[in-house]
A and B are shown apart, each in its own frame.
Chain A
Amino acid sequence: MTEIFAQQVLNALALGGVYALLGLGLAMVFSVLGMINFAHGEIMTLGGYTMVFISATFGWPFLLAVILSFCVAAGSAALIERVAFRPVRGASLTTMLLTTFAISSILHVLFQNFISPRPIALAVPSWLTSTLDLGGMRIGTLQSISITVTLVALSGLVAFLRFSTLGLAMRAAAQDFTITRLMGISANRVIVSAFAISGLLAGLSGFLWVAQRGSVDPLMGFVPVLKAFIAVVLGGMGSLGGAVLGGFLLGILEVTLRASLNESLLPFRDAISLSLIIGFLVLRPNGLLGRSDAVR
């Protein structure tokens, strides 16, 4: 019983960690541009494909493929900002949102036509799918890695946001972007860095997601990014800490429902969790840590 409970806690934290990383990526871009980047899921997918191709085509070590996938995800997010978002910066929010949908659709089509519309398997090393024995309790290696990667990434990001000038400028930009420019800090630098970090986080979550599923397909990023968006809203738009908290709570909620609902109700798991979140937002419209002035 204790082992099952511990396993469920780990599952919840592992799933919540992926939502937290993805949600944090969405929140970083939202904090500087006031827009949700719905192409975030495709960046996650691009990271997944990079892993698959590098390990399958070149036969390079799995860990190297994983690290390169992070670089590709971060680089492509920065490139998308330069090519697609910078030209429409200053346009209406609707225009910017349509741009995110356009990029998402273009990447979808490219994945389907130039890679494959069907899932492509990733040869996940056996050590990643094994279990660890901790004092008689068997714990999944992947879940443990997921939680560790999430905690390390979040700690690194907190240190960056707190101690570096660029990180500080990002936090300031989330509060008042115009005045941040008055500090002599380049707006372009802040925005492109926010996209690159957001891409890196998408790459990290892509690795954790693909390692769990063992394959990549063109639509892979859609559901997790939708969940991450819900996590951002739950945590409070404009709050980076809120996105993390929202991600973990959503993960805990989903795993709890999965473990407690009887079989006939399981298909309604997402509907139930969404209803609970909507109920919460009715009582607290700005989410857990959101500010009333955050939505620009």
Chain B
Amino acid sequence: MHDTVDKTDQSALVLRGLGVSYGVIQAVRGLELTVNRGEIVTLIGPNGAGKSSTLMATVGLADREGTVELLGQDVSEFGTEQLVRAGLTLSPEGRRIFPYLTIAENLRLGGATAKNPKEIEQRMLERFPKLRARYTQTAGTLSGGEQQMLAIARALMSDPKVVLLDEPSLGLAPKIVDAIFETIADLKTLGISVLLVEQDVERALQIADRGYVMSHGEIQVQGSSSDLLTNTDLKDMFFGERK
């Protein structure tokens, strides 16, 4: 274990031997995963594979074994709040915005640890103009797509270096999905590293640099996105109807 930051390390997030258990059920075991700086990595797999558990455990919202390194620093003992302050954040599955707070309040909370929250908020409102139009409205009154935009904007308000996104396109109209994927791809240009869990496997691999395929709590396959997109076994598993 090392507590100092290694500036030469190109990895943004490293999970080593990550394990997650719920009572006697082991949801994730021995998971090894790396996201390099400025890289988009996708974690795909069938329902119940342990993808969301991996993300929740990474940010300290589920008990875990193993080690977590963030920007070259061992943060395994950090609590969720410390991890956010250190530059890691999660946009959780199901959006989980605060429905009875306004959009302005949701964003303000998201930026509670940021040095320049007003500036980041302006950037978010430029990126998501619908949020500006409904700024004083309670978040629960937004459509599903708008809520997803708010969830991503809220996560970005903390000025993170690494963002974990859990099923950002789930249940959204195709047009909204396009906008969401465009935003995720843009994060790379801002130097933000992304670990993306997504059920739309093909879309996820199209914007990702690399991918990990998870099943029964373990990584089964990993590789570059182009390799995974042409992997016959994966095609059978995920894009069967397109064969």
Judge if B135 is at the interface, Cβ distance under 8 Å: no
Ranked nearest first, the 5 interchain pairs of A and B with the lowest CB-CB distance are: A184-B113, A184-B84, A181-B80, A183-B109, A172-B98
Cβ-defined partner of B98 (8 Å) among A175, A184, A187: A175
Residue of B nearest to A174 (CB): B100
Query: Is there contact, CB below 8 Å, between A185 and B112?
Result: yes
| Chain A nearest Cβ from B90, distance in angstroms | 6
Query: Could you say which residues of chain A place their CB within 8 Å of the CB of B154?
Result: 183
Query: Is there contact, CB below 8 Å, between B112 and A165?
Result: yes
Judge if B217 is at the interface, Cβ distance under 8 Å: no
Query: Is there contact, CB below 8 Å, between A168 and B109?
Result: yes
Query: Is there contact, CB below 8 Å, between B98 and A176?
Result: yes
Binary contact track A32-62/B, C-beta < 8 Å → 1, others 0: 0000000000000000000000000000000
Provide the bound-state CA to CA distance between A169 and B109, in Å.
7
Provide the bound-state CA to CA distance between A183 and B154, in Å.
8
Contacts across chains A and B counted by CB atoms under 8 Å:
61
Cβ-defined partner of A184 (8 Å) among B101, B105, B158: B158
| Chain B nearest Cβ from A287, distance in angstroms | 16
Query: Is there contact, CB below 8 Å, between A182 and B101?
Result: no
Provide the bound-state CA to CA distance between A169 and B106, in Å.
10
Residue of A nearest to B90 (CB): A182
Residue of A nearest to B92 (CB): A179
Binary contact track A168-206/B, C-beta < 8 Å → 1, others 0: 110110011011111111110000000000000000000
Chain B's interface size range is 20 to 34
Query: Could you say which residues of chain A place their CB within 8 Å of the CB of B98?
Result: 171-172, 175-176, 179
Question: Can you report 15 A-B residue pairs in the complex whose CB atoms are below 8 A from each other?
Answer: A171-B100, A172-B98, A175-B99, A180-B109, A181-B61, A181-B80, A182-B61, A182-B92, A183-B84, A183-B110, A183-B158, A184-B81, A184-B112, A184-B113, A187-B80
Residue of B nearest to A178 (CB): B61
- Known: A171-B101, A181-B61, A184-B158. Contact between A176 and B110, CB under 8 A? no
- Known: A183-B158, A184-B112, A185-B112. Contact between A176 and B85, CB under 8 A? no
Number of interface residues of A (CB under 8 A): 17
| Chain B nearest Cβ from A37, distance in angstroms | 23
Residue of B nearest to A187 (CB): B81
Q: Which residues of A contact B (CB under 8 A)?
A: 165, 168-169, 171-172, 175-176, 178-187
Name the interface residues of B98-124: CB closer than 8 Å to any CB of A.
98-101, 105, 108-110, 112-113
Judge if B59 is at the interface, Cβ distance under 8 Å: yes
Consensus secondary structure, chain A interface: helix
Cβ-defined partner of A182 (8 Å) among B84, B100, B105, B108: B84
| Chain A nearest Cβ from B136, distance in angstroms | 13
Judge if B169 is at the interface, Cβ distance under 8 Å: no
Cβ-defined partner of B85 (8 Å) among A180, A184, A187: A184
Name the interface residues of B26-81: CB closer than 8 Å to any CB of A.
59, 61, 79-81
Q: Which residues of B contact A (CB under 8 A)?
A: 59, 61, 79-81, 84-85, 89-90, 92, 96, 98-101, 105, 108-110, 112-113, 154-155, 158
Residue among A175, A179, A181 with the highest chain B CB neighbour number at 10 A:
A179
Provide the bound-state CA to CA distance between A181 and B90, in Å.
11
| Chain A nearest Cβ from B31, distance in angstroms | 21
Provide the bound-state CA to CA distance between A186 and B109, in Å.
12
Query: Could you say which residues of chain B place their CB within 8 Å of the CB of A169?
Result: 109, 112
Cβ-defined partner of A175 (8 Å) among B59, B101, B112: B101
Provide the bound-state CA to CA distance between A186 and B78, in Å.
12
Residue of A nearest to B86 (CB): A184
| Chain B nearest Cβ from A61, distance in angstroms | 40
Query: Could you say which residues of chain B place their CB within 8 Å of the CB of A186?
Result: 81
| Chain B nearest Cβ from A172, distance in angstroms | 5
| Chain B nearest Cβ from A293, distance in angstroms | 9
Query: Is there contact, CB below 8 Å, between A183 and B113?
Result: yes
Query: Is there contact, CB below 8 Å, between A181 and B81?
Result: yes
Query: Is there contact, CB below 8 Å, between B84 and A168?
Result: no
Provide the bound-state CA to CA distance between A169 and B90, in Å.
17
Provide the bound-state CA to CA distance between A135 and B83, in Å.
62
- Known: A172-B98, A175-B100. Contact between A185 and B61, CB under 8 A? no
Query: Could you say which residues of chain A place their CB within 8 Å of the CB of B99?
Result: 175
Provide the bound-state CA to CA distance between A178 and B52, in Å.
15
Residue of A nearest to B158 (CB): A184
Residue of A nearest to B85 (CB): A184
Provide the bound-state CA to CA distance between A165 and B110, in Å.
10
Query: Could you say which residues of chain A place their CB within 8 Å of the CB of B101?
Result: 168, 171-172, 175
Query: Could you say which residues of chain A place their CB within 8 Å of the CB of B109?
Result: 165, 168-169, 172, 180, 183, 185
Query: Could you say which residues of chain B place their CB within 8 Å of the CB of A172?
Result: 98, 101, 105, 109
